Structure formats: C-alpha cells, structure tokens
Amino acid sequence: MDDLDRRIINTLQGGFPVSERPFLDVARTLDIGERDLIDRIENLLETGVLSRFGPMYHAERLGGGLTLAALSAPAARFEEVAALVNAHAEVAHNYKRDHDLNMWFVLATERPSDIERVLAEISSETSLVVHDMRKLEEFFVGLRFEA
C-alpha cells in the first residue's frame, strides 16, 4: 500500500458523493484519474487490503435491528460453521478470534424482533450456543492511515 492508496482509503472513509460520476468526483479531489481510482480500489480488494467496498447502513436508524453475536466453533468444524453462519443474509460481518468464543459476527435485520429468530436458526443449524451481545452504548472509532 503506497501513499496514494492511504489517501484513497482516508478520503473514502469520510463519505462518498451521490452524483452521476462519484468516482470522478473523488478522483478530482485526489488529483488522479477516475480509472486510476477505480483500478486502485479493485487492487486493494483483490489483494485483501480491503475486505469490502460499499455503503454502511445504520440498521437501527432504518427501523431494523443490529447485534453482535459470538459462538465457540470447534476447530474441526470452523469452516463448516462459518459457512452456515454466513449463509444468512442478515450476517453483515464475521470474524475469527483467538478466544474461547472464536467466531464473532454482526447481524443486521429488517426488524429488531428478527434478531432472536436468526440467532435461534444459527444455533439450531450449528448445534452451538450463540451469545447475543447487544449494544449498550455506541462509540465511533475511525481508522486513518498516515500518508
């Protein structure tokens, strides 16, 4: 990742324009070409520097539900359990952790009442206890790279 890649990531985390040519608008602020910006984003995704590029919706503000959940997946079943969890459209992110609770995932549902149903489905499908870790307070932690 070079200085321009860092600048691109920092710029895109601050918002994305809603316009006819949003990539061109961002490219102009970075003093690069539109195609160069798109190519660099694609490269960051392909190399795994970025895991995704897209909007982040605040499910609760849209009337939906949001929760963090965790479970203990046996090492021999980890990939199988991850596939079962990720098969749910409501799973926004899934993380492997070095802890007894080694799989953490975020659920975003259309209605708050759907959280319990989806967690129960995942528990039933995996035969594992799913821990619901509802948010008590929200904090924003920004990530910036020095260019």
pLDDT at res. 70: 98
pLDDT at 147: 63
pLDDT of residue 82: 95
H or E segment and range at residue 105: strand 103-109
Domain 59-133 has CATH 3.40.50.300: no
Closest CA to 116 of 99, 105, 102, 132: 132
Distance CA(14)–CA(67), nearest Å, equals 24
Residue range(s) of every CATH 3.30.70.3460 domain in the chain? 59-133
Please state, as a whole number, how many other Cβ atoms lie within 10 Å of the Cβ of residue 5: 18
DSSP state of 61: G
Q: What is the pLDDT at residue 83?
A: 95
pLDDT at 145: 75
- pLDDT at residue 75, as a whole number: 96
Q: Sort strands 103-109 and 91-96 into parallel, antiparallel or unpaired.
A: antiparallel
Distance between first and last Cα of the chain: 10
Q: What is the pLDDT of residue 62?
A: 83
- Residue ranges in the chain modelled with pLDDT below 50: none
The pLDDT, as a whole number, for residue 135 is 83
Q: Contact at 8 Å (CB) between 4 and 40?
A: yes
